[in-house]
């Protein structure tokens, strides 16, 4: 993998892992469950499960991209597929932030999140383009 692409994957992956780890603590930090009726136990369990799944997915995608970028055993196809999947995920999050912005009560938070999502998506997208444009060695 190209050194510049590796650096970009590292930046994007560290940010993904950071967001994933941080998101494990978001429900408590933002007191999510206070907005739900305590008797809605299935809803609370579902929100908890979705958040854990989401958080763990971000951490795992970040780790896998790093392993593929530096492991030396992944083939070009595997790297392209992984980067493409990660690009789609971060682009989706970016679009959601544009259409349904979170943190709109605080412009610094809202646009800070948007900037972070743009930067992470660019790291992965540029890496994907670099990898896709490289000629394969047969």
pLDDT in tens, 16-44: 999 999 999 999 998 999 999 999 999 99
In the chain, domain spans: 3-133
* 81 Cβ contact list (under 8 Å, min separation 6): none
Distance CA 89, CA 10 (A): 17
pLDDT of residue 135: 81
Tokens for 89? 């995920």
Residues of the chain with pLDDT under 70: 137-138
Tokens for 99? 């259409």
Distance CA 12, CA 4 (A): 12
pLDDT of residue 14: 98
pLDDT of residue 137: 59
Reported pTM: 0.91
């Amino acid at each position: 993998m190209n050194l510049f692409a590796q650096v970009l994957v590292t930046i994007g992956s560290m940010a993904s892992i950071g967001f994933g780890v941080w998101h494990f603590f978001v429900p408590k930090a933002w007191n999510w469950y206070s907005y739900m009726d305590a008797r809605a136990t299935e809803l609370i369990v579902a929100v908890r499960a979705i958040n854990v799944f989401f958080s763990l997915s971000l951490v795992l995608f970040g780790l896998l991209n790093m392993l593929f970028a530096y492991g030396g055993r992944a083939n070009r196809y595997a790297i392209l597929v992984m980067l493409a999947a990660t690009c789609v995920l971060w682009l989706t999050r970016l679009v959601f932030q544009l259409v349904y912005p979170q943190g709109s009560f605080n412009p610094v938070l809202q646009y800070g999140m948007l900037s972070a999502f743009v930067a992470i998506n660019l790291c992965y997208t540029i890496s994907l383009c670099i990898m896709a444009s490289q000629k394969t060695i047969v």
